[in-house]
Structure 1
Amino acid sequence: MADPHAAHLPHGAEALLVALATPSPQGETGIPVLLWGRPGVGKSSFIEGLATSDLRVTTLIASIHDPTDFSGLPFLENGRVRYATPEWVEDFRDTTDGILFLDELSTAPPSVQAALLRVVFERKVGFTALPAGVRIVAAANPPDLMVGGWELSPPLRNRFVHLQWDIPESLYIRSLTAGWDTARLPRIDPEQHRERLSDWNIRIGGFLRLRPDALHGNPEEDAFGFATPRSWDFTAALLASCDLLGYRIDDREGRGHTVVLNLVTGCLGEATAIQLVEHLRNLRLPDPLAALRGEADVQVGELDDAELYVLFYGLNARLLPHLGDEQLLPYSRRYLELAAAVFRDGRRDVIFVHLKELARAGWLPHLSSGSASSQPEWQEVMALVGTIFSDDAFNEFVDVLG
């Protein structure tokens, strides 16, 4: 759950802790984070303050390092080129959890930025992999304060979730007498995260079906994060973590909304983030698996077109893995009952693309084969199939089946 003490942390700190605790799509722990804040607002001290006996923090100032300090120094051995491991990698040799903190990233020249590409995303230095529990955090001054610095390349920017960092006046004044609150890194169970991630992938997939133009952003229009398939992966993983930690997307007045919006904006850019968060907040959707099991009461007439579209996207995602197994028949029956309700509601065109997807996946041949044809339930299901696909508007769909 959300930490009640986090209200007395700098702006951006809660979102940072969520990102550091998130199992990444590649299997490591932590989504790479880039903190943007003016000098003297405690970025470095906060990160280094997370260090414990079980969590090693190593700080590197990128501008005073050579590219080979991040890619490995090549040398010849027995007729082969090998790469010497930089000394700082040894800091993580005997640890499973840690933080590699790349301070003053905006002072790194392009050659160093290029060397960091693999370190940040793949957690590899040359051909040496960092432990899976080593997170990557970087810090930089805002673009308007980058005197003598370098702009970050779009490929490097896209490897981070970007967070704005600041210390409000009231928090600093409080710290003068009460001191600074100690941050705690939350723990997220990877298995629970994988299960929750599946649901968020369905919701995001539904949004992108409605707004396919949102898949790719323009790095020239967004100074920090921008949308790509990679940053959409980050977004889904972070939303699953927020869900597990109790940061609610519909918590308009509380910290949950702020944390979620900061993370999504840091991945996708402000315009796309606002559209996505509004879309997700307004969805009134049952769990797709519960709907297929008949455990959820779905009133089709109460859902708008966007909600219907996303609902059937989720139903397809839950139904298709069961082609050929014993759940196919009961799940298909519930699916078709919901589709028939959409037809009666006069909005069949909303789910046409989903029915077409089932056809292309071979759903009907699987449904028609096997020993189920002797069961009354199978006959009822096939009657529903006939009712839906005999509609004149589905001649194209019938052609797809043929």
Structure 2
Amino acid sequence: MALLPCTRAPAPCSKKYTVLESKNLPTGAEALLIALATPAPHGLTGIPVLLWGKPGVGKSSFIEGLANDRLRVTTLIASIHDPTDFSGLPFLENGQVRYAVPEWVSDFDQSPDGILFLDELSTAPPSVQSALLRVVFERKVGFTPLPGGVRIVAAANPPDLMVGGWELSPPLRNRFVHLQWDIPEQLYIRSLTQGWEGGQLPRVSAEDHARRLAEWKIRVGGFLRLRPDALHGSPDENRYGFATPRTWDFATALLCTCDLLGYRLGDGQQQRVILDLVTGCLGEAAAIPLIEYLTNLRLPDPEAVLAGTETVDITSLDDAELYVFYYSLNVYLLRALESPRLVPFSLKYLQLAEEVFNDGRRDIIFVPLREMARAGWLARLSATASRAGTQEQGEILEQITRVFSDEAFNEFVDVLA
């Protein structure tokens, strides 16, 4: 079954992208490339990745092999650096403490797209780990930001092979998506005669991602509405990634990128990559039920429903599906506020609301309706209706009256106000 709603055709923007699937890449490589292509918060690129793998399985060579004329890769062995190499060296100037940035930061001056590769991270002492906290998540060395296109990748040996190393602190662990890296024996045997296949970093439009991300936030929010206990996971019970609001943001952004790249659940290889990414953010206890929920979520295309090119039987949707569907309608209706689609979209939206009310499930859509009203939708719709023909204006006002004069609805709004 598709990761996107099973009744929806592939999104138009997915034609611009291609699935990265290859049988000739190490285990973990596809997921790594997806994470590095994902737009991150605050205008940055790439979700920070921590690769866990045995010594000698090609973690470093694969990362360094991604370098090209447009992408600089700088490798640092964290354990042989001082904390000031990541936080900046303080010095006094004109009575103020300033921070001198280390030489490696200038590597990215001429190549704003790049990868900072922190190798052997588990050999870094706690003082260096603390200095890395801001570098990994905010991409800042002291108070100096790295270019927005610089991704962060780290590599470490599994905990059972950490001889003389240090456990990673929970705050540092929580700044990464954790991926398992390995070379299957058949791949190694093939490489002896045919060589290694290099990775190809995809390009994902930040604009496409931002538009689609709104829908994915709704889907993930629908799951957390059912399972609020899943928001936080225990770092002690999860060896690698664990759930926090930060890593839920990571997982949502990664699901969105998988969507844009055409990855779907139900396909064996693609399903494994999606699950690896989500597990690397949240841990298995949260990831497995989330993927199951998304797989079984039956939703029509909200934009097609509003446009009248697709129909939906409200009574066929369960409460969780109805909640997600109605929030998804909000996304497209808000985008139509300044367009000619406002009136037809609104009429369909109000008609569906009335169907939900008649189905006795007002409470499921009260919050989405209230948020639309607070966003100025009704004021904009009324102004547009006043310029429309008499018949259309009467139909709009009649629909608004039927929905928003509902006694139960208004009582609910008064409680939440």
Give the alignment's TM-score, normalised by structure 2: 0.87
Q: Provide the rounded CA distance (Å) in 2 between the counterparts of 1:375 and 1:234.
A: 49
Given the superposition, is the C-alpha separation of residues 107 and 15 from structure 1 closer, same or farther in structure 2, using an over 3 Å criterion?
Answer: same
CA RMSD of aligned residues (A): 2.5
Q: CA deviation at 1:346?
A: 3.8
Aligned ranges 1:14-33 → 2 under 5 Å? 14-33=30-49
Given the superposition, is the C-alpha separation of residues 270 and 370 from structure 1 closer, same or farther in structure 2, using an over 3 Å criterion?
Answer: same
Aligned residues of 2:215 and 2:331 also touching (Cα < 8 A): no
Say whether 1:2 aligns with 2:19: yes
Say whether 1:380 aligns with 2:395: yes
Measured against aligned partners, the alpha-carbon deviations of 1:82-134 in whole angstroms (never above 9, x if no partner) come to 21121211222221222111011111111111110111111111122222221
Measured against aligned partners, the alpha-carbon deviations of 1:17-66 in whole angstroms (never above 9, x if no partner) come to 11111221221221110001122211111111222233221111111111
Q: Tell me the amino acid that sits aligned with residue 144 of structure 2.
A: T
Say whether 1:201 aligns with 2:220: no
Measured against aligned partners, the alpha-carbon deviations of 1:289-327 in whole angstroms (never above 9, x if no partner) come to 332333332222332222111101212333356668865
Aligned residues of 2:343 and 2:384 also touching (Cα < 8 A): no
Aligned residues of 1:25 and 1:237 also touching (Cα < 8 A): no
Q: CA deviation at 1:288?
A: 2.4
Q: Corresponding residue for 1:354?
A: 368
Q: Corresponding residue for 1:73?
A: 89
Aligned ranges 1:79-118 → 2 under 5 Å? 79-118=95-134
Aligned residues of 2:370 and 2:413 also touching (Cα < 8 A): no
Given the superposition, is the C-alpha separation of residues 127 and 401 from structure 1 closer, same or farther in structure 2, using an over 3 Å criterion?
Answer: closer
Q: Corresponding residue for 2:64?
A: 48
Q: Corresponding residue for 2:280?
A: 266
Measured against aligned partners, the alpha-carbon deviations of 1:306-361 in whole angstroms (never above 9, x if no partner) come to 21111012123333566688655433321121122223334334323433444555
Q: Tell me the amino acid that sits aligned with residue 307 of structure 2.
A: R
Q: Provide the rounded CA distance (Å) in 2 between the counterparts of 1:187 and 1:398.
A: 44
Aligned residues of 2:251 and 2:278 also touching (Cα < 8 A): yes
Q: Provide the rounded CA distance (Å) in 1 between the counterparts of 2:43 and 2:101.
A: 23
Q: 1:154 aligns with which of 143, 148, 170?
A: 170
Say whether 1:278 aligns with 2:295: no
Aligned residues of 2:385 and 2:392 also touching (Cα < 8 A): no
Percentage identity across paired residues of the two chains:
70
Of residues 189-198 and 113-122 in structure 1, the stretch that sits farther from structure 2 once superposed is 189-198
What are the ranges of 5 or more consecutive residues in structure 2 without an aligned counterpart? 1-17
Q: CA deviation at 1:369?
A: 6.1
Aligned residues of 2:305 and 2:312 also touching (Cα < 8 A): yes
Q: Tell me the amino acid that sits aligned with residue 272 of structure 1.
A: A
Q: Provide the rounded CA distance (Å) in 1 between the counterparts of 2:413 and 2:153.
A: 53
**Which secondary structure does the structure 2 equivalent of 1:8 belong to?**
coil
Aligned residues of 1:202 and 1:317 also touching (Cα < 8 A): no
Give the alignment's TM-score, normalised by structure 1: 0.90
Q: Tell me the amino acid that sits aligned with residue 64 of structure 1.
A: I
**Which secondary structure does the structure 2 equivalent of 1:7 belong to?**
coil
Q: Tell me the amino acid that sits aligned with residue 12 of structure 1.
A: G
What are the ranges of 5 or more consecutive residues in structure 1 without an aligned counterpart? none
Aligned residues of 1:22 and 1:29 also touching (Cα < 8 A): yes
Say whether 1:297 aligns with 2:336: no
Q: CA deviation at 1:78?
A: 2.5
Which structure's relative contact order is higher, taking Cα pairs within 8 Å and 6+ residues apart?
2
Q: Tell me the amino acid that sits aligned with residue 77 of structure 2.
A: I
Given the superposition, is the C-alpha separation of residues 391 and 196 from structure 1 closer, same or farther in structure 2, using an over 3 Å criterion?
Answer: closer
